[in-house]
Amino acid sequence: MARVLVLFAHPRLEKSRTNAALLRQVPRRDDVTFRDLYERYPDFDVDVAEEQALLMRHDVTIWHHPLYWYSAPPLVKQWIDLVLAFGWAYGPGGTALRGKAMGHVVTSGGTEAAYQLAGFHGFTLGEFLRPLERTVTLCGMTWLPPFAVHGTNRLPDAVLQAEAARYGRYLTDLADGVPPRPAVDGAHV
């Protein structure tokens, strides 16, 4: 069993049919904590001590957000810059997160085929997430294979519901201590 923290960051959730469907599948369990960063910190004034305490109480942390210009939304970057502090998360004495795991749930308007070397974007999703992966490993944490939902602007309702159910199983499995399946090219479980 593992305690799972979901750090959700979507600056325009009201416009996201896909993320709304995914969020409805977040398990309601004592060992799964959901936190909407944009709701909590609309002014970007992140409570570092509170966020660090949450990280310490959980075994697995999931960053869940849409892909914004091949990266994370700005509040995720702010959170990383402030919370994963030198001397606490990395560097001399920075061992607070060692042995924990961190994963990524990403939604993108582009199709999975667009995130291939020969695709529209010319790189895989895993390659775009590499700086975040390195952030995690620098902190002594295990990087989990990313979970991706692609083509969000065109998903038929049945496919969207299947993806949402898959997300719910993913979080349930993490809480039950079931490791995610290895990703194909680091982009999909």
In a domain, residue 40? The reply is: yes
Report how far residue 104's alpha carbon sits from residue 133's, in angstroms, rounded to the nearest whole number. 9
State the average pLDDT over residues 75-94. Answer: 97
Q: What is residue 27's three-state secondary structure?
A: coil
Residue 68's contacts (CB-CB under 8 Å, 6 or more residues apart) are 74
In a domain, residue 158? The reply is: yes
- Lowest mean pLDDT of 2-11, 128-137, 175-184, name the range: 175-184
Of 129, 163, 125, the residue nearest 143 (C-alpha): 129
State the average pLDDT over residues 43-62. Answer: 98
The share of the chain scoring above pLDDT 90, in percent, equals 72
* pLDDT of 163 strictly over 90: yes
In a domain, residue 150? The reply is: yes
* pLDDT of 185 strictly over 50: no
What per-residue confidence (pLDDT) applies to 188? 42
* pLDDT of 184 strictly over 60: no
Q: Which helix (H) or strand (E) holds 36?
A: strand 32-36
What per-residue confidence (pLDDT) applies to 70? 84
In a domain, residue 181? The reply is: no
State the average pLDDT over residues 183-187. Answer: 47
What per-residue confidence (pLDDT) applies to 79? 98
Of 67, 167, 157, 166, the residue nearest 115 (C-alpha): 67
| Cβ–Cβ under 8 Å, residues 112 and 70 | no
Q: Which ranges constitute the DSSP H helices of 58-156?
A: 74-83, 125-128, 130-138
In a domain, residue 189? The reply is: no
Model pLDDT for residues 90-128, shown as the tens digit of each residue? 999 999 999 999 999 999 988 788 788 898 877 788 888
Structural domains of the chain, count = 1
In a domain, residue 155? The reply is: yes
Provide the token pair at 152: 């969000």
CATH classification at residue 94: 3.40.50.360
| Cβ–Cβ under 8 Å, residues 103 and 60 | yes
β-pair type (142-143, 4-8): unpaired
Tokens 């291939």 — which residue? 116
pLDDT confidence band for 183 (50 / 70 / 90): low
Residue 106 lies in domain: 4-175
- Helix, strand and coil in the chain, % to nearest 5: 40, 15, 45
Provide the token pair at 4: 């799972």
In a domain, residue 71? The reply is: yes
pLDDT confidence band for 187 (50 / 70 / 90): very low
State the average pLDDT over residues 43-67. Answer: 97
The share of the chain scoring above pLDDT 70, in percent, equals 96
In a domain, residue 36? The reply is: yes
pLDDT confidence band for 141 (50 / 70 / 90): very high
